[in-house]
Structure 1
Amino acid sequence: MSDVTAVIGAYYAAFNAGDKQAFLDVLTDDVAHDINQGERQVGKEAFGRFVDHMTRCYREQLTDMVIMAGPTPDRGAAEFIVNGTYLATDEGLPEANGQTYVLPAGAFFTLRDGKVARITNYYNLQDWLAQVGA
Protein backbone atom coordinates (compact mmCIF):
# COMPACT_ATOMS: atom_id res chain seq x y z
CA MET A 1 0.00 0.00 0.00
CA SER A 2 1.76 3.18 -1.10
CA ASP A 3 -0.99 5.66 -1.98
CA VAL A 4 -1.20 8.31 0.74
CA THR A 5 -4.98 8.38 0.90
CA ALA A 6 -5.21 4.58 0.97
CA VAL A 7 -2.74 4.32 3.87
CA ILE A 8 -4.49 7.04 5.86
CA GLY A 9 -7.85 5.44 5.03
CA ALA A 10 -6.59 2.08 6.34
CA TYR A 11 -5.38 3.79 9.52
CA TYR A 12 -8.82 5.25 10.20
CA ALA A 13 -10.67 2.10 9.15
CA ALA A 14 -8.66 0.22 11.79
CA PHE A 15 -9.47 2.95 14.33
CA ASN A 16 -13.22 2.78 13.66
CA ALA A 17 -13.17 -1.02 13.71
CA GLY A 18 -11.31 -1.06 17.05
CA ASP A 19 -8.77 -3.38 15.40
CA LYS A 20 -5.54 -2.75 17.29
CA GLN A 21 -3.47 -5.13 15.18
CA ALA A 22 -4.61 -3.57 11.91
CA PHE A 23 -3.82 -0.18 13.46
CA LEU A 24 -0.28 -1.29 14.30
CA ASP A 25 0.19 -2.93 10.89
CA VAL A 26 -0.01 0.43 9.07
CA LEU A 27 2.73 1.99 11.23
CA THR A 28 6.50 2.01 10.86
CA ASP A 29 8.36 0.45 13.80
CA ASP A 30 9.65 3.90 14.80
CA VAL A 31 6.37 5.78 14.30
CA ALA A 32 6.31 9.23 15.94
CA HIS A 33 2.93 10.02 17.50
CA ASP A 34 2.32 13.63 18.54
CA ILE A 35 -0.55 13.61 21.01
CA ASN A 36 -2.79 16.69 21.03
CA GLN A 37 -1.42 19.12 23.64
CA GLY A 38 0.85 16.35 24.89
CA GLU A 39 4.11 14.61 24.34
CA ARG A 40 5.61 12.87 21.35
CA GLN A 41 5.67 9.09 21.75
CA VAL A 42 7.91 6.99 19.52
CA GLY A 43 7.52 3.37 18.44
CA LYS A 44 4.80 0.80 17.88
CA GLU A 45 4.96 -0.40 21.49
CA ALA A 46 4.23 3.10 22.82
CA PHE A 47 1.45 3.51 20.24
CA GLY A 48 -0.06 0.19 21.33
CA ARG A 49 -0.10 1.34 24.95
CA PHE A 50 -1.77 4.58 23.83
CA VAL A 51 -4.46 2.61 21.96
CA ASP A 52 -5.08 0.46 25.06
CA HIS A 53 -5.40 3.57 27.23
CA MET A 54 -7.77 5.27 24.80
CA THR A 55 -9.91 2.13 24.50
CA ARG A 56 -10.25 2.00 28.29
CA CYS A 57 -11.21 5.68 28.67
CA TYR A 58 -13.10 6.48 25.47
CA ARG A 59 -15.38 4.93 22.86
CA GLU A 60 -15.06 6.90 19.63
CA GLN A 61 -16.20 6.69 16.03
CA LEU A 62 -14.91 9.06 13.39
CA THR A 63 -17.32 10.40 10.77
CA ASP A 64 -17.33 12.98 7.98
CA MET A 65 -13.80 11.91 7.07
CA VAL A 66 -11.94 13.94 4.46
CA ILE A 67 -8.48 12.62 3.55
CA MET A 68 -6.09 14.84 1.65
CA ALA A 69 -2.81 14.00 -0.06
CA GLY A 70 0.04 16.46 -0.22
CA PRO A 71 2.04 17.35 -3.32
CA THR A 72 4.61 14.66 -2.47
CA PRO A 73 3.93 10.95 -1.94
CA ASP A 74 4.89 11.08 1.73
CA ARG A 75 2.53 13.67 3.25
CA GLY A 76 -1.19 13.78 3.94
CA ALA A 77 -3.86 15.01 6.30
CA ALA A 78 -7.35 14.17 7.48
CA GLU A 79 -10.23 16.14 8.90
CA PHE A 80 -13.11 14.43 10.67
CA ILE A 81 -15.67 14.54 13.46
CA VAL A 82 -15.05 12.55 16.65
CA ASN A 83 -18.27 11.10 18.07
CA GLY A 84 -17.39 9.84 21.50
CA THR A 85 -18.34 8.65 24.95
CA TYR A 86 -16.11 9.31 27.96
CA LEU A 87 -16.05 5.90 29.67
CA ALA A 88 -13.42 6.03 32.43
CA THR A 89 -11.69 8.98 34.07
CA ASP A 90 -8.46 9.90 32.32
CA GLU A 91 -5.69 11.17 34.58
CA GLY A 92 -5.75 14.95 34.97
CA LEU A 93 -9.14 15.29 33.27
CA PRO A 94 -12.69 15.62 34.66
CA GLU A 95 -14.44 12.60 36.10
CA ALA A 96 -16.03 10.35 33.51
CA ASN A 97 -19.65 9.33 33.80
CA GLY A 98 -20.59 8.40 30.25
CA GLN A 99 -20.63 11.93 28.85
CA THR A 100 -20.91 12.13 25.08
CA TYR A 101 -19.14 14.60 22.82
CA VAL A 102 -18.94 15.61 19.17
CA LEU A 103 -15.64 17.23 18.31
CA PRO A 104 -14.04 18.39 15.06
CA ALA A 105 -10.47 17.16 14.75
CA GLY A 106 -7.64 16.76 12.29
CA ALA A 107 -4.35 14.99 11.80
CA PHE A 108 -1.21 15.35 9.75
CA PHE A 109 0.76 12.38 8.46
CA THR A 110 4.21 11.56 7.15
CA LEU A 111 4.54 8.23 5.34
CA ARG A 112 7.60 6.12 4.68
CA ASP A 113 7.69 2.90 2.67
CA GLY A 114 3.89 2.85 2.45
CA LYS A 115 3.35 3.12 6.22
CA VAL A 116 2.60 5.88 8.71
CA ALA A 117 5.87 7.22 10.13
CA ARG A 118 4.38 10.25 11.92
CA ILE A 119 0.91 11.31 13.00
CA THR A 120 0.15 14.63 14.67
CA ASN A 121 -3.38 15.03 16.06
CA TYR A 122 -5.24 18.26 16.74
CA TYR A 123 -8.56 19.07 18.38
CA ASN A 124 -9.86 21.82 20.64
CA LEU A 125 -9.33 20.56 24.19
CA GLN A 126 -11.34 23.43 25.67
CA ASP A 127 -14.31 22.44 23.49
CA TRP A 128 -14.01 18.82 24.69
CA LEU A 129 -13.76 19.92 28.34
CA ALA A 130 -16.89 22.07 27.99
CA GLN A 131 -18.79 19.16 26.43
CA VAL A 132 -17.91 16.74 29.25
CA GLY A 133 -18.85 19.31 31.89
CA ALA A 134 -15.49 20.53 33.18
Structure 2
Amino acid sequence: MPINKEHTWMLGNKPGIICIFEDEEIVYLKNSKSIDKTLNEIINVNKNNELIRIMLKIELGFSEKKIKQKIISNANRNKIKKILKRFEFSLISIDISHSEAVANAFIIVCDPRYNGQTTNMNEVLDNIPEKKKA
Protein backbone atom coordinates (compact mmCIF):
# COMPACT_ATOMS: atom_id res chain seq x y z
CA MET A 1 0.00 0.00 0.00
CA PRO A 2 1.21 3.55 -0.66
CA ILE A 3 2.28 5.52 2.39
CA ASN A 4 -0.52 8.06 2.78
CA LYS A 5 -3.31 8.92 5.22
CA GLU A 6 -5.90 7.08 3.13
CA HIS A 7 -4.12 3.79 3.81
CA THR A 8 -3.10 4.34 7.44
CA TRP A 9 -6.06 5.88 9.28
CA MET A 10 -7.62 2.52 10.09
CA LEU A 11 -4.49 0.94 11.62
CA GLY A 12 -4.98 2.26 15.13
CA ASN A 13 -2.65 2.02 18.08
CA LYS A 14 -1.37 -1.51 17.42
CA PRO A 15 2.17 -2.90 17.68
CA GLY A 16 3.92 -4.61 14.79
CA ILE A 17 6.68 -4.45 12.23
CA ILE A 18 6.58 -1.93 9.40
CA CYS A 19 8.31 -2.84 6.14
CA ILE A 20 8.81 -0.05 3.62
CA PHE A 21 9.52 -0.97 0.01
CA GLU A 22 10.67 0.78 -3.13
CA ASP A 23 10.28 -1.28 -6.29
CA GLU A 24 9.90 -4.47 -4.22
CA GLU A 25 13.19 -3.81 -2.38
CA ILE A 26 12.97 -3.38 1.40
CA VAL A 27 14.43 0.04 2.15
CA TYR A 28 13.44 0.29 5.82
CA LEU A 29 12.18 -2.09 8.47
CA LYS A 30 11.19 -1.14 12.01
CA ASN A 31 9.30 -2.57 14.93
CA SER A 32 6.73 -0.14 16.30
CA LYS A 33 4.66 0.07 19.46
CA SER A 34 2.10 2.09 17.50
CA ILE A 35 1.97 1.46 13.76
CA ASP A 36 -0.46 4.34 13.18
CA LYS A 37 1.70 6.84 15.10
CA THR A 38 4.90 5.76 13.34
CA LEU A 39 3.37 5.92 9.85
CA ASN A 40 1.81 9.32 10.58
CA GLU A 41 5.22 10.65 11.70
CA ILE A 42 6.61 9.48 8.35
CA ILE A 43 3.72 10.95 6.33
CA ASN A 44 4.05 14.29 8.17
CA VAL A 45 7.87 14.31 7.77
CA ASN A 46 8.44 14.54 11.52
CA LYS A 47 12.18 14.91 12.10
CA ASN A 48 11.88 12.94 15.35
CA ASN A 49 11.06 9.82 13.30
CA GLU A 50 14.04 7.53 12.65
CA LEU A 51 13.30 7.02 8.93
CA ILE A 52 12.90 10.75 8.33
CA ARG A 53 16.20 11.48 10.13
CA ILE A 54 17.95 8.82 8.05
CA MET A 55 16.45 10.19 4.83
CA LEU A 56 17.51 13.73 5.74
CA LYS A 57 21.08 12.45 6.17
CA ILE A 58 21.27 10.12 3.17
CA GLU A 59 19.04 11.87 0.62
CA LEU A 60 19.63 15.52 1.53
CA GLY A 61 23.08 15.40 3.14
CA PHE A 62 22.04 16.79 6.53
CA SER A 63 24.32 16.26 9.51
CA GLU A 64 22.86 15.05 12.81
CA LYS A 65 23.70 18.48 14.25
CA LYS A 66 21.77 20.26 11.48
CA ILE A 67 18.77 17.98 11.96
CA LYS A 68 18.67 18.78 15.70
CA GLN A 69 19.12 22.53 15.23
CA LYS A 70 16.82 23.33 12.35
CA ILE A 71 13.19 23.12 11.48
CA ILE A 72 12.74 21.28 8.20
CA SER A 73 12.03 23.85 5.48
CA ASN A 74 9.02 23.40 3.22
CA ALA A 75 11.35 22.80 0.27
CA ASN A 76 13.18 19.98 2.09
CA ARG A 77 9.91 18.59 3.46
CA ASN A 78 8.57 18.44 -0.11
CA LYS A 79 11.75 16.67 -1.30
CA ILE A 80 11.24 13.99 1.35
CA LYS A 81 7.52 13.71 0.50
CA LYS A 82 8.41 13.24 -3.17
CA ILE A 83 10.70 10.33 -2.24
CA LEU A 84 8.04 8.88 0.08
CA LYS A 85 5.56 8.78 -2.83
CA ARG A 86 7.72 6.06 -4.40
CA PHE A 87 7.41 3.89 -1.29
CA GLU A 88 4.84 1.33 -0.25
CA PHE A 89 4.45 -0.37 3.09
CA SER A 90 3.47 -3.72 4.49
CA LEU A 91 2.84 -4.75 8.08
CA ILE A 92 3.55 -7.75 10.21
CA SER A 93 1.25 -7.99 13.20
CA ILE A 94 3.24 -9.43 16.07
CA ASP A 95 3.20 -9.45 19.84
CA ILE A 96 5.19 -6.51 21.18
CA SER A 97 7.35 -8.79 23.33
CA HIS A 98 8.82 -10.40 20.19
CA SER A 99 8.68 -7.56 17.67
CA GLU A 100 12.14 -6.07 18.29
CA ALA A 101 13.92 -9.43 18.01
CA VAL A 102 12.00 -10.38 14.86
CA ALA A 103 12.59 -6.95 13.29
CA ASN A 104 16.32 -7.17 14.05
CA ALA A 105 16.47 -10.64 12.46
CA PHE A 106 14.78 -9.34 9.30
CA ILE A 107 17.16 -6.36 9.20
CA ILE A 108 20.16 -8.68 9.31
CA VAL A 109 18.80 -10.85 6.50
CA CYS A 110 17.49 -8.18 4.12
CA ASP A 111 19.97 -5.31 4.82
CA PRO A 112 17.54 -2.43 4.09
CA ARG A 113 18.95 0.63 2.32
CA TYR A 114 18.14 3.06 5.14
CA ASN A 115 18.72 1.05 8.32
CA GLY A 116 20.64 -2.08 7.35
CA GLN A 117 24.10 -3.15 8.48
CA THR A 118 25.79 -1.78 5.34
CA THR A 119 24.30 1.67 5.91
CA ASN A 120 25.17 1.61 9.61
CA MET A 121 28.77 0.60 8.89
CA ASN A 122 29.11 3.30 6.23
CA GLU A 123 27.90 5.88 8.76
CA VAL A 124 30.49 4.67 11.29
CA LEU A 125 33.22 4.95 8.65
CA ASP A 126 32.03 8.42 7.62
CA ASN A 127 32.23 9.60 11.24
CA ILE A 128 35.85 8.53 11.77
CA PRO A 129 37.86 11.73 12.23
CA GLU A 130 40.39 12.42 9.53
CA LYS A 131 44.03 12.31 10.49
CA LYS A 132 45.55 15.78 10.55
CA LYS A 133 48.39 16.31 8.14
CA ALA A 134 51.62 17.54 9.62
Identify the structure with bigger relative contact order (alpha carbons < 8 Å, sequence gap 6+). Answer: 2
TM above 0.5, yes or no, is no
Name the one with the larger strand percent.
1
| Structure (1 or 2) with the larger CA radius of gyration | 2
TM-score (norm 1): 0.31
More helix per residue: 2
